[in-house]
Structures are given as structure tokens and as C-alpha cells.
Chain A
Amino acid sequence: MLMRKSSLFLIYIILNILFLILLFTHASFEKKKDMQFLREKMEMVSKLQLADLCLFTEASYTRHLSQADLHTPFQDSPTSLEHFPSGSLVGPPRSLRKLNGKMD
């Protein structure tokens, strides 16, 4: 006997929801497992006195985001424009945005 379309739809939705719950469970286990590595990273940051994440290595101001200064857009010459892709991906450091808040 053919299954009703509504039953198929409900089965599909329930399976998806169950899968989503499974992913949440996976996230919870992974978080617990990764805590040890997070602590390791925290210790490394503390030991080496690091201030930034290594997300983008193409330009100094995106490698060390928090260390960027007001001259960042003019790195290479007084009229040079931003040309690294990651520079357009990330926001400027907090300290600079505080200064330029009213102009933004």
C-alpha cells in the first residue's frame, strides 16, 4: 500500500529534526572534547603574550588585527588603497572604531 503524502512529509520533517538534534548533541560532545585544546591555546597565548588570532597571514594588519593603526589604509604609500581581500572581510579594531565612531 502506498504511503500517504502527508505521512512522507511528516517523516521527512521528523527525520530532519532528529538529525538536527543529533548535530546539537555532536556539538555538545565536541565542545567538551575541545575544552582541553582551548585551554592549551589559552596557555600558549598567555605564555607567548599573544594578542591576536592567526586568521589571515597576507597582511600585517589582518594578521594582527588588534595592532592595526590609523595608517593601515595607507600602508604602502600615502595614497594607496586597501588591496588585500581579507582587509575587506574583517572590521577595523575596536580602538579605531571608537575614535571614528561619529564619522562612520
Chain B
Amino acid sequence: MAKWIERQRNIIDFTLSSLLRRKRKNIALIFVYIVVVFFLASVLFFTYSIKKEASMILQGSPDMIVQRMVAGRHELIPISHIDKIKGIRGVSSVKERLWGYYYDPIVGANYTLIVSDDSQLSVGKIIIGEGVSRTRLLFEGDAMEFKTYDGAIVDLEIESTLSQKSELVSSDLIVISGGDFRRLFGTPEGYATDLTLKVRNSRELPTIAVKIAELLPDSRQILRDEILRTYDAVFNWRGGIMMVILMGALLAFIIFAWDKASGLSLEERREIGILKAIGWETSDVLLMKFWEGMAVSLSSFLAGVIFAYIHVFFASSMLFEPVLKGWAVLYPHFKTVPFIDASQIIALFFLTVVPYTVATIIPSWRAATVDPDSVMRS
């Protein structure tokens, strides 16, 4: 065993010396490799964590949302529909939901206004999300100005702000009383934005949805399962930026592999020829090339993964921020929970290290099996 280890170490020593002879080329190669792994791993860590977090926190969302559609657009729904839906067997509760968007011309941001039927919020008071507070520089006790549907100005007092830790769901929220909401938007009494349902047995949801569709043909039903699956596939690989990153990474690997598989440089071929001439076996040459591939790809892979973790979970994915922000004025500041597991690292390893190592060995095997004299002369 000690002899075997010593042999490997000798070959690694030689390989590293050989790599250092082509220092510039290999440093450039390792740098690009680290960047490719870094971006792939960052995307993987970020999207997986968001998906995982969404699947956990959206478990509390309504079992079903019923919305009225008019000419293909979401319309207000009569509250009287609640009684009709309650009559369906299996429905345990139906509530109206009042919510909407408010465009703030002062900062150019859109807020989501929502009425909470549980809160003890009195008329004239609001609770704002951390993003709203940050964007408007408004805090507890301040008054926030709103323009109603008929042009009147209304001042609402900020009772409190929602926790900063909840920004992923509440950054742009303004919790408001039902009376103020109707006053702001002119929503008539007897109407709500949509209805939410709780059912006794979630397996009955599709059947209940069909019954609601028959009962209220102008409505559409959104099931919680669909909400969860929407977020499960939220950053689809076909999405614009995902595609750009994946294509970039793929192209980089094609270039790596092409560079390696299209043949070795004259210097590398001569080196193999000399090694064979002085008595190296083909297996020794292959072992050397294996370690060469490993030295480049494994060290780049490990560094890339570590940098990606730091980027996503310590630096809040700062490089993705301009992309995620888009044209939004109000951008939630959230720190993703590090949901990572070994399978992600293994998948990345097989995507990045293995193809490169294989691409390094194959052309060397071709060069190592021919006559050393012809290799050196070529």
C-alpha cells in the first residue's frame, strides 16, 4: 500500500510540475473553471433554497382560491357566493379576501394592500412591510398618505411594521382595515376581491373545484397544490436568465472538452513521447493525465462550490440582485435558508469534474498508445 501511495505521489509531483511549466494557460483555465462552477452552484443553491422555503411556508396558504373572471380578467366577486359554496359537501369554511395593488407615485413602487380579518386593526391604522418602510422611510407612528379612487387624500397611521425576517412574504405588504380598503378603492359593500376556502379532506379538492366551476361558471379555482407546484418550478430552466447561465456553462464546458479532445499541444505530445521513451508505461501516462485532470477540475470545483455558498448564503446572492430586481423599485431583502444537501454537490461534481477528467484522459490515451519515436517527431 505504501508503495502504491508513493507511486501516486511521485506522479502527482510530476504532474504538478508539468502544469506549472504552462503556468499562465493553466491559471487562466482554473479561473474560468472556478467561475463556471461558481455560477452553476450559485444558481443551484439559490433556486433550491427558494423552492424549499416556498414549499414550507406556503403550506399555510388557503386550500383553494375562487376568483371571478370577466372578459378574461379578474373581477370582484359577490360575497353572496359564499353561501352557495358553503353548501357544497366537504367545504369547511369560506372567507372573503380583500386585496389589491396600490401604485405610489412618490417613489414609483407598487404595494400589495391586504385586509386581515384576524387582526384587531382599527380604521385609520395600517401595518406595513419592511420593504415599504425602507422605500418610503416611514416608521411606526408616522402617517402615510394615500390617494383614494375619487382623488381624495387619506392619511393612515402606521401602527407597526412587519418583521424583517418575514420579508420573503411581506416586504411590499400593507395590512389595512376593511373599511379603509373600501374607502381607498371604492370597492362596493357586498363584494370581495376573491374567496378562500378550507376543506375537510384535501383529497376532495379537485371534486369541490369541479362543483364550484359548475355552480359558478364565471369563476376560476386555484388549488393550493397548484400554488405549491408553481413555486416548485418557479425558476424553470427555460427561463431567460437560467437559460443564459446554463448555456454559458455548457458552452464553457464544450470549449474545455473540445480543447482537450481535439488533441494535445505539440509540447504535451512531445512530453508523452519522452516519457514513453524513458520507460513510462501507457498506464503511467494515463495516470498522470488523470491526476492532471483531477488537479485542475477538483481544485476548481471545490473553490467554486465554496465561493457559491458564501455568495448565496452570506452575501444574499448579491450578484443575482440586479437580475432579480428587474425594474422593481421596492425589492425585498431576504436571506435564504441554506437548504443544501449532498445530492446537490454530487450532481455538480458529475456535471463538472467527471467530463473534464474524461476529456483529459482520452486524447492522452491516443497519444500514449502510438510509437514514442513518431510522437516526438510529429
Contacts and interface: CB of A to CB of B under 8 A. Distances in A.
A41 B234 contact: no
Contacts of B168: 41, 53-55
Contacts, number: 220
A51 to B, nearest CB: 5
B65 interface: yes
A31 to B, nearest CB: 6
Interface string A34-73: 1001101111111111111111111010111111011100
A91 B326 contact: no
Contact of A94 (B57, B129, B230, B313): B230
B112 A89 contact: no
Given A53-B168, A54-B170, A66-B226, A85 B114 contact: no
A51 B305 contact: no
B12 A5 contact: yes
B149 interface: no
A17 interface: yes
The residue in B58, B173, B232, B324 that gathers the most chain A C-beta atoms within 10 A of its C-beta is: B58
Interface in B38-83: 50, 53-54, 56-62, 65, 67, 69, 72-74
Interface in B203-244: 220, 222-223, 226-227, 229-236, 238-242
Contacts of B338: 26-27, 30-31
A95 B222 CA distance: 8
7 contacts: A38-B56, A44-B170, A49-B61, A51-B58, A53-B168, A67-B65, A93-B227
Interface of B: 8-10, 12-13, 16-17, 50, 53-54, 56-62, 65, 67, 69, 72-74, 95, 97, 101, 109-110, 112, 114, 116, 118-119, 129, 131, 162-163, 165-173, 175, 196, 220, 222-223, 226-227, 229-236, 238-242, 295, 298-299, 302-303, 305-306, 309, 313, 323-324, 326-332, 337-340, 345
Interface of A: 4-10, 12-13, 16-17, 19-20, 23-24, 26-27, 30-31, 34, 37-38, 40-58, 60, 62-67, 69-71, 84-86, 88-91, 93-95, 97-98
